[in-house]
Amino acid sequence: MRNAALFLRSLLFTLVMVIATVIWSFVCMLAAPLPYNKRYYITSRWNVFVIWCAKTICGIEYEFKGYENFPDGPAVVLAKHQSAWETIFLLANLPRPLVFVFKKEILYIPFFGWGIALLRMIPIDRKQGKNAFKQVVAHGKRRLKDGQWIIMFPEGTRIPVGQAGKYKSGGTRLAVETNTPVVPIALNSGECWPKNSFIKRPGKITVSVGKPISPEGQSADSMMEQVEQWIESEMRVISPHAYNAG
């Protein structure tokens, strides 16, 4: 019975999310002529609605830990990546508008990609190698100057609960080149919304925010070491059961 209930709740959630995505893509297009902050706000109401549905239908709640660590100024946010949940949640729940760095293929996704294309994100072509990073820096400088925050997932892809991917230094390279502090975020969304899983499980996701890490006197690699150390240590605090003792 429990498995059947989980399936039905997950099915209902998926159907509602798909319908909302189709409807909201047209709302976003209608909002395209508006000033950017209003356009961002309207677009992010989809995110708020989906997170509310995840809570109401699937029982996925959340809590912030260390929210006061967010700076009142420019920041590069580097977050743990376990699920699609954080890509939806973070955009609507951080103090400043976010600029995601993502592979350009996402823009080709019907309806969802259309809405994203209307925001000031940074799509990259990974085939361009070093040139792709130059684009990130050029766009990143402009976005940070406009008061937006850059967000990246240093592991590059969603990592299963209890595991760590290889942390890539692109985010800290951007931080060093723009002299911007990095804010690390640990989260355990994969416990409720696992990678590539249709079933969503009830529970509480913890989003833990670390203190800003200054780029002063640091290299991209030394900053990333601090980011990785903090995130992976904090993961053992918020999800101790997912890691082997010691």
pLDDT tens, residue by residue, 58-99: 999 999 999 999 999 999 999 999 999 999 999 999 999 999
Contact yes or no for 72/116 (Cβ under 8 A): no
pLDDT tens, residue by residue, 6-27: 999 999 999 999 999 999 999 9
147: its two tokens? 């008061």
Average of per-residue pLDDT across 160-165: 94
Please work out, in degrees rounded to the nearest 5, the angle formed at the alpha carbon of residue 93 by the alpha carbons of 101 and 234: 80
Average of per-residue pLDDT across 106-132: 73
pLDDT at 130 over 70: no
Residue 129 confidence (pLDDT): 65
pLDDT at 246 over 70: no
Domains, the chain, with CATH or none: 2-238 (3.40.1130)
pLDDT tens, residue by residue, 224-241: 999 999 999 999 999 999
